[in-house]
Amino acid sequence: MEKVLQYLKENRVFYLATVDGNKPQVRPFGVVSVIDGKLYIQTSRTKEVYKQMIENPNIAICTMGKDGTWLRISATAVEDYDLDKIQQFLDDNPELKQLYSADDGKCTIFYLKDATCTFCSFTAEPEVHKF
């Protein structure tokens, strides 16, 4: 998980895909944290992406490194609306504090369950991490 966290933090923007009915949706995301051994992402309860993850928790993430490698993740997104953990997430990503506070009723976090993370490259075999 540490390698996945580092890669996502280093490369800043990752693309989060969700399922909307029977259609895929994808958008840029940028913040992650590990809290109590779980990898979390953050969003607002007002967004379509939130509604989609609640309705269908199957998500995928993709991002690319400066070295031409890329990371693909498939997982189940589980909402964890715990104000202490949301505060920890905001403390770990203080740039979010201009948009959110832990108890604003909007800010929420999801952890990735049953994640399969695959580091890919044109020159090496895929490296798979599961957590």
Which parts of this chain interact with ligand FMN (CB under 6 A)? 13, 25, 27-31, 42-44, 47-49
Cβ closer to ligand FMN: 30 or 65?
30
By beta carbon distance, the residue nearest ligand FMN is 30
Query: Using an 8 Å Cβ cutoff, are 26 and 14 in contact?
Result: no
Q: Give me the least distance between CB of 117 and ligand FMN, in Å please.
A: 18
Cβ closer to ligand FMN: 33 or 125?
33
Of residues 44, 64, 50, the one with CA closest to residue 20? 50
Cβ closer to ligand FMN: 9 or 129?
9
Count CB atoms within 10 A of the CB of residue 8: 23
Of residues 40, 131, 50, the one with CA closest to residue 89? 40
Q: Give me the least distance between CB of 126 and ligand FMN, in Å please.
A: 26
Q: Give me the least distance between CB of 130 and ligand FMN, in Å please.
A: 23
Tokens for 46?
Answer: 């007002």
- Which residues, including other chains, have CB under 8 Å from residue 74's CB and lie 6 or more apart? 58, 59, 60, 61, 115, 116
Cβ closer to ligand FMN: 15 or 128?
15
